[in-house]
Amino acid sequence: MVIDEFTREARIAYFSMEIGIKPEMHTYSGGLGILAGDTLKSAADLRIPMIGVTLIHKMGYFKQELDFFGRQIEHPDPWEIEKYLTKLDVVVTVTIENKPVYVTAWLYVIESGTGGKVPVLFLDTDIPENEPEHRTLTHYLYGGDLEYRLKQEIVLGIGGIRILNELGFEIKKYHMNEGHSSFLTLELLQRFKRPIEEVWSDELVWDTEKVKDLCVFTTHTPVAAGHDRFPYEVVQRIMGEIVPLWLLKKLAGDGMLNMTLLGFNLSEFINGVSKKHEEVSEKMFPGYEIHAITNGVHSYTWVSEPFKRLYNKYLPGWANEPEIFVRAWRIPEEELWDAHMQAKKHLIDYVNRLTGANLNYDTFTIGFARRATPYKRADLLISDPHRLAMIAEGRIQIIYAGKAHPRDEGGKKLIQRIFEVKERIKDKVKIVYLPNYDMEMAMKLVAGVDIWLNNPQKPYEASGTSGMKAAHNGVPNLSVLDGWWIEGWIEGYTGWAIGSLEESSDPKRDAEDLYYKLSNEILPLFYENRHIWIKIMKNAIALNAYYFNTHRMVRFYVTEAYIR
C-alpha cells in the first residue's frame, strides 16, 4: 500500500482537529489549522518523522458571503478530495451511542524540496457502512451542536489511534494540538491496561504513567470558556464507559469533562504558544508545569513570489534555514522596496478587481485580517471615524477580512459595524472588507499591505501568527503587546506597540494610542522618510522572521518535548 513507505520508522503522531495545508483543501478555519499545516511542512523540510492526523471536513468550514450591510451568509464549502488525497484501504470502528461507526482514512503527503516527506491522514466516516447520521460526522469543521462536536472528537482521538494502529504505525509520541484530540489518551489507557490479577489496587490497573510518557499537549486558549467541556451524562450516553467514571473524573475534572484537563493530566510535556501565554495558562491551571514554545509560520509558504526572488538572490538557503534572515540588511534598499511594491500592486489590483474600491498603489495601506470575534476588536481603528478621517487626509486606506463563526453573534455585529463606518467615511478613507478570508487571500494581504495591524484585548491572543507572515514579507507590525509580539517587538525598530506592556486593555486608551502613533510616528515616517521605513522593513525580516518561523519552533518541540 502507498502508506508502507511511512511505516518503516517510528513516528511522532500530531493530532489536530484542523490541518490547513493549501487553500484548495478546505480543512481549516484559521490560526490553529494553519499552524498545524506549517508545523508538518517544517517537519517534512527537516526530515523529522511525523505523521498528521485530522478529519477530512468534506464540507469545509464555511464559505462566507457578505451582503451590502455586511451581514454574513454562510454556505457549505466542499472541496475536491480525490484531486488531492489518496483513499487508503483501511477501516476501523469506534462506538458511538452503542453503535459501531466505521472510520476510514485518506492520505496526503507533504513533500519538501529537501526530499523529506510527512504523511497526513484525513479521517472520514462518509462511507456506505455507516448510518446516514454518522456519515456526516466528518463533514463540517466546528459545525453542529455539542453532541456533534463530541462525536467528532471521538472519531479524531479514538478513531485516529485505531487507524494508526491498523496501518501498522509505530508511534513514539502523541502530540495533541489543542484539546479536541484528548480522547486519544483514553484509548491509550485502555491499551496499556494491566490484567487485574497482576495488581492489588483498582487504580493500578490503569497505567497513567505509561500514557503520560507518550503524550505531549499544546494549549492555545487563554480563556476558560474556550476549552471544550462536555457534561458527563452526555459523555456516558455517547461514548459508553471507555474507562470507569471515577477515573475519568479524576483525569478530566469533577463537574464536566474538560478536554484540556484530560490532555494535561495525561501528558508529560505541556506547553503554551508564547511566553506570555505560558504565564496566563499557569494561572488558569495552577499546579501544572507549563512550558512555552512560541509559534511560528512556515517561511517558504508565507513568503510572496517577489520576496522569494529577492531572498534567493541575497539570502540563498533561507527556505530551509530561516536563521539566514539575520542577514537581511544586505538586501539593497531599492530592491527591497521594489519587491514590496510588486506585492502591493498584486494585492491592490486584486482588491480593486473584487470590490471596485479603486485603491491606490502609493497610499499607506493598513491590513487587518483574522477571525471576526469580539476580543480581536476589528473595530478599534474605526472606533472614532471622525478622528480617523482627520488623521488620514487621504493618506490611509484599509483592507479588512475575516469570518465570524456561525454562532458568534458578536463577531457578526463587528463586521456590520465596519460596513457601516466604511460607507459613512468613504469620501475620506477608503475601506474595504473582503469576503471569505482564506490562506490564499492571507498570502496576498500579509505581503501587500504596508503595515499589519493587530489589536486584541489582552491577554486573549495566545500567540497570533499572521503578524509573523507579514514580517516574512518585510511588513512591520503595529500591535497590542500580547502573544508573540511581546517577544518580537522593539519599538520603532521592528514595528510599534499599541498600549503598554503592563496596563490591561482599555478600548479608549488603546484607540487613542493607535491614532497617536499613526499620525505622529508612522505616517510621517512612511511618507517623508522612506529610507528609515525600509530599515524597519529589514528589521522585520532580520529580527522577526528570523525567529518566528516553524523551523525554529519544530526544533524546540523535538528537543524539549519529543526526545526527553
Ligand X SMILES: *Cc1c(COP(=O)(O)O)cnc(C)c1O
The yes or no reply on residue 293 touching ligand X (CB under 6 A) is: no
Task: State the residue for C-alpha cell 458571503.
Answer: 65
Shortest Å distance, C-beta 338 to ligand X:
25
Between 298 and 340, CB nearer to ligand X: 298
Q: Please give the Cα distance from 417 to 90 (Å, whole number).
A: 49
With CB under 6 A, what is the number of residues at the site for ligand X?
12
User: Applying CB under 6 A, which of residues 134, 370, 377, 430 lies at the interface with ligand X?
Assistant: 370
Query: Which residues have C-beta within 8 Å of that of residue 413, sequence separation ≥ 6?
Result: none
Q: Please give the Cα distance from 121 to 109 (Å, whole number).
A: 9
Shortest Å distance, C-beta 534 to ligand X:
24
Shortest Å distance, C-beta 398 to ligand X:
16
User: Applying CB under 6 A, which of residues 442, 453, 525, 540 lies at the interface with ligand X?
Assistant: 442
Is residue 91 classed exposed, middle or buried when 0-12, 13-18 and 19+ CB atoms within 10 A define those classes? middle
User: Applying CB under 6 A, which of residues 178, 228, 438, 482 lies at the interface with ligand X?
Assistant: 438
Q: Please give the Cα distance from 309 to 316 (Å, whole number).
A: 10
Q: Please give the Cα distance from 415 to 422 (Å, whole number).
A: 10
Annotate each residue in 460-499 with x if it binds ligand X (CB under 6 A) or - if it does not, as one string.
----xxx--x------------------------------
Question: What are the DSSP calls for 293-344, one per residue?
Answer: ----B-HHHHS-HHHHHHHHHHSTTGGG-GGGGGGGGGS-HHHHHHHHHHHH
Between 181 and 466, CB nearer to ligand X: 466
Shortest Å distance, C-beta 404 to ligand X:
13
Between 268 and 408, CB nearer to ligand X: 408
Q: Strands 229-231 and 256-258: what pairing? A: antiparallel
CA distances from 338 to 83, 308, 318, 320 (A): 37, 13, 20, 24
Between 230 and 307, CB nearer to ligand X: 307
Between 177 and 258, CB nearer to ligand X: 177
The yes or no reply on residue 437 touching ligand X (CB under 6 A) is: yes
The yes or no reply on residue 153 touching ligand X (CB under 6 A) is: no
Between 21 and 310, CB nearer to ligand X: 21
> Which residues, listed in sequence order, are joined to residue 368 by a DSSP beta bridge?
400
Shortest Å distance, C-beta 402 to ligand X:
8
The yes or no reply on residue 116 touching ligand X (CB under 6 A) is: no
Contact 271, 443 (CB under 8 A): no
User: Applying CB under 6 A, which of residues 31, 253, 306, 435 lies at the interface with ligand X?
Assistant: 31
Between 396 and 442, CB nearer to ligand X: 442
> In this chain, which stretch among 30-38, 46-54, 414-422, 492-500 interacts with ligand X, using CB under 6 A?
30-38
The yes or no reply on residue 365 touching ligand X (CB under 6 A) is: no
The yes or no reply on residue 298 touching ligand X (CB under 6 A) is: no
The yes or no reply on residue 228 touching ligand X (CB under 6 A) is: no
Bin 34: left if φ > 0, else alpha if -120 < ψ < 50, else beta.
alpha
Q: Please give the Cα distance from 260 to 271 (Å, whole number).
A: 12
The yes or no reply on residue 34 touching ligand X (CB under 6 A) is: yes
Shortest Å distance, C-beta 490 to ligand X:
20
Between 228 and 482, CB nearer to ligand X: 482
Between 247 and 445, CB nearer to ligand X: 445
**Cell digits for 243?**
474507562
Contact 303, 472 (CB under 8 A): yes
Task: State the residue for C-alpha cell 474600491.
Answer: 357
Residue numbers of the site for ligand X (CB under 6 A)? 30-31, 34, 370, 437-439, 442, 464-466, 469
